[in-house]
Amino acid sequence: MKKWMRQLFLTLSLALTVLFGYGLFSAYMDVTSPPRAEILVKSEERPATPGDTYIALGDSLTRGVGSSNGEGFVPLIGNVLKENHTVERFQNLGVRGARIEDLLAQLEQKEVKRSLKNAKIITITIGGNNLFNSGEILKKYSEETALGILETQIPNLEKTFKHIRESNPNAVILYMGLYNPFKQSPNGDSFDSIIQKWNESARTLGLKYSVQVVDTFNLVTDAKRDLSSDVFHPNDSTYQQIADSMSLVIEKSIIQ
């Protein structure tokens, strides 16, 4: 091989290696520290649209990250509700990477306030990004640190439930409990305990503010089987199970 061809080959190999490494790093950061979309952009005030609606609030789980079509459980629930004439439309207000403080800020937007006020059904997924702390909690895991996050953030979760319930006293409101995406990690059992404490606190708040807490903890027991390729968000099958669980709670609540 001529010298210039050898040098070209080495240069291209190095470039590909760098690009591959960057790709892996980007994928890791996208999971552990997902981009937080802009949620405070002012929207134009529009006339209210008549008819019952289903509003979905929350983070990347509400957005549907991990599903093959990028839509997740919201349209699975929404389309069934429309077919059953329970609602006339549904709206996904989920924000990828959102934390509780982001959702609280979003709830102050005029358009969001009006959407909530007119909603018949509201679902919420929030808290995972707070508890997992953008992946930092895995780097130097401490159960004491995790419990500290829980102690700090549960009052904020209560603010969220209170705000949404006050915005709409009559809506059926559902909160999706957290699952453990880190079961296979060395600290998986400890994380199980932390997440169960979070979910138990959420259930207590749910009783106070008439928010139904949907248990998804047991839907994720095997990361390879139950999660998408990022080993963090649900795959299509798990999103379907989440939708089925939520739909069952909605159906029972509406009948009551």
Question: CA nearest 174: which of 107, 112, 251, 79?
Answer: 251
Q: What is the DSSP letter of 30?
A: H
What is d(CA 159, CA 144) in angstroms, rounded to the nearest whole number?
Answer: 24
Q: Read off the pLDDT band of 132 (50, 70, 90).
A: confident
Tell me the pTM. Answer: 0.83
CATH 3.40.50.1110 fits 52-255, yes or no: yes
Question: Three-state SS for 125?
Answer: strand
The pLDDT tens digits of the residues spanning 215-246 come to 999 999 999 999 999 999 999 999 999 999 99
Phi, psi of 88 (to 5 degrees): -100, -20
